[in-house]
Amino acid sequence: LNPKPGLAFDHYIAQTIVPDVFVRPMPGGGWSVELNNETLPRVMVDNHYHVELRQLATDSEARSFISNCYQDANWLVRALDQRARTILKVATELVRQQEVFFARGVQELRPLTLSTVAENVGVHESTVSRVSNNKYIGTPRGIYELKFFFSTALVNDKGASFSAESIKAKIKNLIDDEDPKKILSDDKIVLLLKEEGIDLARRTVAKYREAMNIGSSVVRR
């Protein structure tokens, strides 16, 4: 008999996320940011093979074809190297901007835009968006997609700004700590957040709660 009969029906293979960048705390303070070389494509140009082919070429058309291929190969190597450098620069800037998050957690995540990082790194905003998509960073707090660190700002009447992710974390903590006999309604969460200087509409609280797959107060009862 098959000891694992369920395998005959479930063919889904879970893919483990491998970080493209690692962030580690340094002994003297600060953070070390480095690329994961295992995820980088390894492309090299064999110069000896190129020389051998040129020597065997008997006409100008063949030599021109070999020269163009050689230039294309070198361009690809440079492009991949530039891409890796850009990923490292963007990740380093994200760590610098979100240093408090790495020290204290998601509640301290700062509002951050693509344009801010692009300006500081010296690249176009679309480049930051491209290298952040489907790229992951391994941190002491877990593995996050790079685009996780970009969040819109919500500003209170005192001028203090909060990121959407940090507010989600506050909502989750309020619900996690709620008394089972006194389940918090969305209206009550609005009042509790207002005490912390965060003014949100009830529908916004509901939207954030649903985004975290947390049921309503009726469901939680």
Q: For residue 160, give both structure tokens.
A: 């203090």
- Which of 21, 193, 194, 2 minimizes the C-alpha distance to 94? 21
How many angstroms separate the first and last alpha carbons of the chain?
Answer: 44
Sign of the four-CA dihedral 133, 120, 124, 115: positive
pLDDT of residue 160: 66
Q: pLDDT higher for 6 or 25?
A: 25
Mean pLDDT of 133-140: 91
Q: For residue 177, give both structure tokens.
A: 């700590």
Residue 21 pLDDT level (bands cut at 50, 70, 90): very high
Per residue in 140-194, pLDDT (tens digit) is: 989 999 988 888 777 666 656 778 888 888 888 888 888 888 888 888 888 888 8
91, 21 contact by CB (below 8 A)? yes
Per residue in 40-62, pLDDT (tens digit) is: 888 888 888 888 888 888 888 88
pTM of the model: 0.73
Q: At 131, which amino acid appears?
A: V
